[in-house]
A = this chain, B = another copy of it.
Amino acid sequence: MALIVHKYGGTSMGSPERIRNVAKRVAKWARAGHHMVVVPSAMSGETNRLLGLAKELAPARADDAYWRELDALAATGEQASSALLAIALQAEGMASVSYAGWQVPIRTDSAYTKARIEAIDDTRVRADLAAGRVVIVTGFQGVDALGNITTLGRGGSDTSAVAVAAAMKAAECLIYTDVDGVYTTDPRVVPEARRLHTVSFEEMLEMASMGSKVLQIRSVEFAGKYRVPLRVLSSFTPWDIDIVEEAKSGTLITFEDDEHMEQAIVSGIAFNRDEAKISVLGVPDKPGIAYQILGAVADANVEVDVIIQNISKEGKTDFSFTVNRGDFTRTLELLRTRVLPGLGAQEVVGDAKICKVSIVGIGMRSHVGIASKMFRCLSEEGINIQMISTSEIKTSVVIDEKYMELAVRALHKAFDLDQTPV
């Protein structure tokens, strides 16, 4: 008898029929003797519908009073789906109760629309579990110290589930989603992509940050911090699949590094084309330059990803970074009008037609030559590398976006990701 947390995404909760399937699956786990806590997302489309109404009423609002109401509004989607799941479980003959974030309570800070969980009081939940009830904890939301409703940002239900699992020391947190696990890369780009049976927390973090949308990145950080055993699996397997088989399906995110020593050096290829590249050319190479450029960008609330500064020549250097493609024009404009004049730099150029491709693998730590193998592979395909950025377990390159699929396929093959490891 273990404490298990299930999390179901919006697609899995998308209709009464699907909610009924979720209830049957959860009931199966409960009947197998587990203490079950379930965190559902809002029914798919619901959050967008609600935020669309708000946008229609106030297209240009951006202050705390507005975000507070936006959170109160958006939180209703999950509250409704939680109550519906409790009702569906009851209809399956399974005692069940749902709690909104404030009822648990899940305490957060007051950063509306992107709040962070500070504490979870599990007294009430434990009492219900002891009484034989399945407990539905509403995802995506919490309550701040003043009793205001907060939300955790897009995908926040993942974080809710992991945080609940961490607070309650659950045996495992199962994230049911519309894919059946984490793949070596996107199967839509590389048909030979393989599902990983396990992936290390650090690799998952790099893949999540690279647009592999399986899990919200914050939930992965949380799982790492509290070492929550996390499994990503499909909610579209039949609900009555054998439970032992189900418990081994999907991809397990692990924390014991030893387990991985024998594994492939590169676990996956991540990529995204959501970014754009900006370069400030001919910058006088003196202290404070990076801050002068990126400080202004941060003040404008633009997130920066890859940052590269080349060595200087004749007292001048080139400074490049990538931003979300949606922020490209605004950032370019900002640099040209407000930063360039005081900087004594030559010019600001940019390119939105780029993509970032990364190889990710915890084995890279202890192996040399992985990056150069990547560069050779790309060179053999005639792909020019515009920017390079490395971390301990990841090497990323920025290339022309038209080569993205080609690069991903070539790298997937070069690192033998299509082969089942022995």
Q: How far is the CA of A197 from the CA of B84 in the complex (A)?
A: 45
Residues of chain B with a CB closer than 8 A to A65's CB: 86, 90, 95-97
Number of copies: 2
Q: Whole-angstrom distance from the CB of A119 to the nearest CB of chain B? A: 17
Greatest chain B CB density within 10 A among A68, A75, A86 is at: A86
Is the CB–CB distance between A19 and B57 below 8 Å? yes
Number of interface residues of A (CB under 8 A): 41
Q: How far is the CA of A100 from the CA of B83 in the complex (A)?
A: 17
Q: Quick check: is A79 within 8 A (CB to CB) of the other chain?
A: yes
Is the CB–CB distance between A91 and B57 below 8 Å? yes
Q: Whole-angstrom distance from the CB of A127 to the nearest CB of chain B? A: 11
Interface CB pairs A-B, < 8 A, 23: A16-B53, A16-B57, A53-B84, A54-B84, A54-B87, A57-B91, A58-B90, A61-B90, A61-B91, A65-B95, A65-B96, A66-B87, A69-B90, A70-B83, A70-B87, A72-B79, A73-B83, A73-B87, A76-B76, A79-B79, A100-B149, A102-B102, A103-B147
Interface positions of A (Cβ within 8 A of B): 16, 19-20, 23, 50, 53-54, 56-58, 61, 65-66, 68-70, 72-73, 75-77, 79-80, 82-84, 86-88, 90-91, 95-98, 100, 102-103, 147-149
Q: Which 8 pairs show the lowest CB-CB distances between chains A and B?
A: A73-B83, A58-B91, A76-B76, A72-B83, A16-B56, A69-B83, A69-B86, A57-B88
